[in-house]
């Protein structure tokens, strides 16, 4: 199991130094992929702050492009007044993006008495009350085909059970019997586009119009 280590933290810090010269409150992120590759990225600064992205976003997109699972992630910022580089826990949005790779992705979490110090935690430990735990382990959440890093096109991801153990079974590819009976259903149309599949199928599941079966 991967962890956030000094090599990953240093990769993020190096980007802050080379790209921004360590300017106060500039930041960057570093992600490790399953094959050991380290990707770094930083957030652009558009005039309209409402469209600002997280530092992790670029590296997450690059991981998806390479079809490689993310196993660890860390975000750093250069504090002002020469107070060093602080580790930041991934925000809620980034946690959701990283959870696409399962709850055992490691993330850097700061010591809030001294944010320069950090430890590595799994997402399951950072967010033990994640909403996805309310869904059965058989893959109702996320009901997504072509999960990043899943070359077999299976749907679902390991979800923590209420007893704290982790389910490792994935549903197989969508079987012919797994279809919505409503004419013109958006889930059926969205099956042609991975981007809208999770949202569309989940709506049908919650409305009782969709049945998932595991292809054997």
> pLDDT tens-digit profile of 34-48?
999 999 999 999 999
59 plus 139 within the same structural domain:
no
CA distances to 75, 80, 105 from 34, in Å: 18, 34, 10
Q: What percent of the chain has pLDDT over 70?
A: 62
78 plus 138 within the same structural domain:
no
Q: Is 93 within the bounds of a domain?
A: yes
Structure-block tokens of residue 19: 């790209």
CA angle 136, 1, 122 (to 5 degrees): 55
CA distances to 39, 43, 96, 128, 153 from 53, in Å: 17, 6, 14, 25, 28
Model confidence at 81: pLDDT above 80:
yes
Q: Is 1 within the bounds of a domain?
A: no
* Residue 109 structural domain: 6-126
Would strands 114-122 and 106-111 be described as parallel, antiparallel, or unpaired? Answer: antiparallel
13 plus 118 within the same structural domain:
yes
207 plus 168 within the same structural domain:
yes
Tell me what pLDDT residue 137 has.
Answer: 59
Question: How many domains does the chain contain in total?
Answer: 2
Q: Which of 126, 159, 192 is the last residue of a domain?
A: 126
Would strands 70-78 and 27-33 be described as parallel, antiparallel, or unpaired? Answer: antiparallel
Residues 160-202 have pLDDT tens digits of 444 554 443 333 333 333 334 444 444 444 433 433 444 444 4
Structure-block tokens of residue 182: 């409503």
139 plus 76 within the same structural domain:
no
């Amino acid at each position: 199991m991967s962890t956030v280590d000094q090599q990953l933290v240093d990769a993020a810090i190096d980007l802050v130094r080379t790209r921004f010269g360590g300017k106060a409150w500039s930041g960057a992120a570093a992600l490790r992929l399953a094959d050991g590759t380290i990707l770094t990225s930083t957030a652009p600064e558009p005039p309209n702050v409402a469209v600002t992205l997280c530092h992790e976003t670029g590296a997450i997109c690059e991981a998806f492009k390479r079809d490689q699972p993310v196993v660890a992630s860390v975000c750093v910022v250069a504090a002002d007044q020469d107070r060093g580089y602080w580790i930041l826990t991934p925000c809620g949005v980034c946690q959701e993006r990283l959870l696409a790779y399962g709850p055992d992705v490691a993330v850097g979490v700061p010591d809030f008495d001294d944010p320069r110090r950090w430890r590595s935690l799994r997402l399951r430990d950072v967010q033990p009350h994640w909403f996805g735990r309310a869904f059965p382990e058989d893959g109702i959440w996320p009901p997504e085909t072509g999960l990043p890093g899943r070359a077999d096109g299976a749907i679902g991801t390991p979800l923590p059970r209420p007893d704290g153990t982790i389910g490792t079974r994935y549903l197989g590819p969508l079987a012919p019997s797994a279809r919505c009976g409503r004419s013109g259903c958006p889930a059926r149309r969205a099956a042609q586009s991975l981007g809208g599949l999770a949202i569309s199928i989940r709506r049908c599941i919650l409305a009782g119009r969709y049945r998932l079966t595991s292809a054997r």
